[in-house]
C-alpha cells in the first residue's frame, strides 16, 4: 500500500511511514522529558541529560550540593544546583 506524503507529494511505502511514525513518537517522548517548571527540572530530564540510570540519579540526588524537591513519587532538581554541580566538577585542560 502506498501513501502520499503531503509536503512534497512523494509516494511513501508502509515501511517508510512506520519508521517515520516511530521517529515522531521517539521525538515526542524526548520533548516531553525536556519540560521544566520555573527553576525545577523533572528527574527524567536529568536522567536523559546525564544518560544516568535510576541508581545514578538516586546517588546524584543525595549529593550535598544538589537541591531536590519531592512531590509524592515525583522528584525535581533545582536547575542552578545542577549547573553548580557541573561547574564544581569542571576540569581544566
Give the closest residue to 63 by CA, choosing from 37, 89, 40, 39: 89
Contacts of 16 (CB under 8 A, 6+ apart): none
Using one digit for the tens of pLDDT, what is the confidence trace for 31-81? Answer: 665 667 788 999 988 998 889 999 999 999 999 999 999 999 999 999 999
The per-residue pLDDT for 1 is 46
Using one digit for the tens of pLDDT, what is the confidence trace for 11-26? Answer: 667 787 778 777 777 7
Coil, helix or strand at residue 2: strand
CA distances from 9 to 13, 15, 27, 66, 90 (A): 13, 17, 24, 51, 50
Residue ranges per structural domain of the chain: 1-33, 36-93
Amino acid at each position: 500500500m502506498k501513501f502520499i506524503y503531503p509536503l512534497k507529494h512523494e509516494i511513501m511505502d508502509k515501511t517508510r511511514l512506520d519508521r517515520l511514525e516511530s521517529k515522531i513518537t521517539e521525538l515526542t517522548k524526548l520533548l516531553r522529558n525536556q519540560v521544566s517548571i520555573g527553576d525545577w527540572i523533572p528527574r527524567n530530564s536529568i536522567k536523559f541529560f546525564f544518560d544516568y540510570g535510576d541508581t545514578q540519579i538516586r546517588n546524584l540526588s543525595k549529593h550535598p550540593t544538589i537541591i531536590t524537591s519531592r512531590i509524592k513519587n515525583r522528584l525535581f532538581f533545582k536547575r542552578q544546583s545542577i549547573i553548580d554541580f557541573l561547574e564544581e566538577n569542571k576540569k581544566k585542560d
